[in-house]
A and B are shown apart, each in its own frame.
Chain A
C-alpha cells in the first residue's frame, strides 16, 4: 500500500478506461466523513458541473460549458499511475461522450479513418 497525495496525485489527472482510452479528467473528488475520524474518497467527479467547486473561474467555465456530470465510484479505480486507470470502458461509465458525439460527424467525412 503506497500513499497517494490526492491533491497532487489524483485531482486534475487524466482518466483512462480499461482500453487505455483518454476519457476526461478527475475534475473533483467526492469525499465522505469529512470532519469525522476517517474521511475517505467515495467517487471521482468528471464533467463541467464538477468545475463549480474549483474556484471562481471554475464556476464561470462550468456555467459556460454546461454538460453532464459523471460520477465514477472509487471502486472503479484499478491503478493510480500517470493517469487514473478505471476498470470498465468509457462507454459503460458514460465518460468521453463528447468525443463519441463528434466522432459520428467526423466519420462521415472522406479520409476520416486515415
Chain B
C-alpha cells in the first residue's frame, strides 16, 4: 500500500513537473494560431519523451548510469564535450526563460516592477534550493503545479467543437502558412522532449539508487505521469483555440494563457492558472538548474547529488548556483522571456540528437543492460523517434527563419 501511495505521489509530481514555460508558450500560441489542428504534434512529443525517459530510467536502474555518464562513455571526450557545451548553452537559455517566466507571473499577481521581481525570483529559488530538502521541493512544486488542471476545466467550459478537436489528433497539412505550421510542429515536439527533463529524471533515478525492482515505478512515472502532463498541454491548446482564435487574439504574452482561464471561469480561474504557472515554471527553473549541474558533474566525474548536503558535492552545488545566476543575467538585460523561451526550445531541438543517440546505444548494450536491454517495441519507438529528432533538428533553424519565429 505504501508503495502504491509513493508511486501515486511520484506521478502527481510528474504531471505538475511536465509543463514548463516552453509548453505553455507553444501550446497557447499554437491554439491561438491554428486552433486544434496541432494537437497531434503534442501526441508525437509526449510519445517521444515517454520513449526516451523510460529508456533513461531503465538504464539508470540497471546500470547506475545517468545520461551524461552514457554520453561521455559512448561519444568519447571530444564529441562528448561538444554535446556538453551545446547542452549547457541551451540549458542556460531554458533557465533564463523559466526565471523570466516566474517574474512575469509574479508581476501579474502583484503588479510590482518586472526587474525587481526577477531579483526576487532568483534569490527565492536559490534560497529554496540551498535550504530545503529536495524531495520536499519536488513534491510542493509538483502538487501546486497541478493547479494548471484548471485549464482542463476551462477547455470543457469553453465548449469547443469536439469533432474538430478530434480531427486535430490526426496529422494534417494544416491551413494557413505552411512555414508557420511547420515551425509550431517543431516547437511543440521540442517543448515536450526538451532534454533537461531526461538529464534530471535519469540522475534522480541514480540518486534514489533504483535497481531493476524499480522498473515498475519507472514505467508508471513515465507512462502515466507524462501522458497526464500531455493532457495539460492539450487543455492549454484547446482552450486557447476555443477562445483566442475566433477573436483573432495573438498569444505573444505568457499572461494570455491566464486570461483564457479567467474568461472561462472568472477570478478563481485566473488565480488558479497563475498559481499553477508560478509553481510549474519555478519547478522547471529548479529542474533545469539541477540538470545543468548534473551534466557537467557527470562529464567531469565530480561528486554530485541533490540529496547530498551542499558541502557534500561542492562543485555540483557551485555549478547550479552559477547556472541560476547566468540565467538571471540573461533575462535581467531586459530581453523578452517569451523570445528566450522560443529560442531555447528551437535550439534544444538542434541539440536533441546528441542526447538521444547515446541513450539509445546504451539502452541496447547487453553488457550493461543484460536482459533489461531494449526489446523490439522500445527499439521501434526509439528508432522512430531518433528519425523524428534528426529531421526536426535539421529543420529547426531554417524554420525559425522562414516562419519569422512563427509570426509568418
Contact = CB atoms under 8 A, between A and B. Distances in A.
A binds B: yes
Highest count of chain A CB atoms <10 Å: which of B63, B297, B304, B367: B367
Nearest to A21: B303
B98 interface: no
A22 B299 CA distance: 12
Interface residues of B, number: 35
14 contacts: A8-B74, A12-B73, A12-B77, A12-B80, A14-B298, A22-B302, A23-B301, A46-B301, A56-B78, A58-B77, A105-B314, A106-B318, A112-B310, A114-B309
Interface string B125-155: 0000011110000000000000000000000
Contact of A111 (B77, B82, B131): B131
Nearest to B368: A82
A25 B72 contact: yes
Interface of B: 63-65, 69, 72-74, 76-78, 80-82, 130-133, 297-304, 309-311, 313-315, 317-318, 365, 367
A113 B308 CA distance: 9
A27 B77 contact: yes
B286 to A, nearest CB: 16
Contacts of A1: none
A12 B298 CA distance: 10
Interface in A3-35: 5, 8-9, 11-15, 21-25, 27
B77 A113 contact: no
Determine the main DSSP class of B at the interface with A.
helix
Interface of A: 5, 8-9, 11-15, 21-25, 27, 46, 51, 54-58, 61, 82-83, 96, 98-100, 102-103, 105-107, 109, 111-114
A87 to B, nearest CB: 18
B310 A113 contact: yes
A21 to B, nearest CB: 6
A26 to B, nearest CB: 8
Contacts of B74: 8
A112 B216 CA distance: 35
B311 A112 contact: yes
Contact of B77 (A8, A57, A96): A57
B301 A24 contact: yes
Chain A contact residues: helix, strand, loop or mixed: mixed
A57 B63 contact: no
Given A57-B78, A58-B81, A96-B302, 6 more contacts: A22-B297, A25-B299, A57-B82, A61-B81, A112-B309, A114-B133
B73 to A, nearest CB: 5
A98 B317 CA distance: 13
Contact of B367 (A9, A22, A25, A107): A9
A55 B77 contact: yes
A51 B301 contact: no
Contacts of A114: 130-133, 309-310
A12 B74 CA distance: 9
A51 to B, nearest CB: 6
